[in-house]
Amino acid sequence: MRSLPLFAAALIFAAGGLFAAGVAHAQVVSKTAMAGAYSVSLKVLPAESFMGPHAAMAHDAGAAPVTLNGPEHPNHHMVVFVKKDGKPVENATVGIVYRELSPHMGKWITLPVARMHVAGKSLATTHYGNNLKIGPGSYEARVTVNGTSTATFHFMLSH
Ligand SMILES: [Cu+2]
C-alpha cells in the first residue's frame, strides 16, 4: 500500500505531460501578413466555445457564432487579429474566404465573420472569424480589411 501514493503521483505526472503536449499542439496555424496598412495575423485553433458560463469567446458583432454543438460540428476556430500601427483594430470590417488546394482543389468558401474578444478580457483581444469544420490538407485564405486591402495566406492542417 505504501507505493500507492507514488503510483498516483506518477499517473498525475503522466496526465500532466499529456495535457502539456495537447496545449503545445493546440495552435495549428499562426501566420502574419500585411493587408495594406493593416497587419493581419491568421490563426487556426481548436474550435472555441461561445455559449454558457465557461465560454471562451465573447461574441460582440458580425455573423452569428458557429456553436460547438450545432449542426456543423466545427473542429477549428479560424480567426484574424488586425493591427494598425502596432495597435489592435477593434472595429474593422473583415472578410475571409478560403479554399482547399490539396488533396482536392476546392471552391472558395466564405467564412461567416463574427467579431469577438476573449471572454473576460479587454477589447484589445478583439478578433474576427468563426468556428468551422475543415479537414486535413493545404489551404489558401484571403483576408480583406475594410473593403480594399487583402492579405493572402497559405497553410496546412494535419488534423
Ligand atoms: Cu475567437
Give me the pLDDT at residue 32, please. 97
The DSSP string of 101-134 is EESS----EEE--EEEEETTS-GGG-EEEEEE--
Give the distance (Å) from ligand 1 centre to CA of residue 1. 47
Q: Which helix (H) or strand (E) holds 15?
A: helix 3-24
Give the distance (Å) from ligand 1 centre to CA of residue 6. 40
What cell does 18 get? 499529456
pLDDT tens for 2-23 read 555 554 444 444 444 444 444 4
Give me the pLDDT at residue 11, please. 45
Say whether 26 sits in a helix, a strand or coil.
coil
Give me the pLDDT at residue 5, please. 53
| Residues whose Cβ atom is located within 5 A of ion ligand 1 | 57, 79, 116
Domains of the chain and any CATH numbers:
27-157 (2.60.40.3340)
Report whether 79 contacts 94 (CB < 8 A). no
pLDDT tens for 72-130 read 999 999 999 999 999 999 999 999 999 999 999 999 999 999 999 999 999 999 999 99
Cα(1)–Cα(78) distance, integer angstroms: 50
Cα(101)–Cα(112) distance, integer angstroms: 20
The pTM of the full predicted model, rounded to 2 decimals, is: 0.83
Give the distance (Å) from ligand 1 centre to CA of residue 135. 19
- Phi-psi group of 25: left, alpha or beta (phi > 0 → left; psi -120 to 50 → alpha; rest → beta): alpha
- Phi-psi group of 96: left, alpha or beta (phi > 0 → left; psi -120 to 50 → alpha; rest → beta): beta
Give the distance (Å) from ligand 1 centre to CA of residue 78. 8
Give the distance (Å) from ligand 1 centre to CA of residue 27. 12
Give the distance (Å) from ligand 1 centre to CA of residue 118. 7
Confidence of residue 27 (pLDDT cuts 50, 70, 90): low
Confidence of residue 148 (pLDDT cuts 50, 70, 90): confident
Say whether 91 sits in a helix, a strand or coil.
coil
Name residue 130's beta-bridge partners. 78
pLDDT tens for 47-66 read 999 999 899 999 999 999 99
Give me the pLDDT at residue 13, please. 45
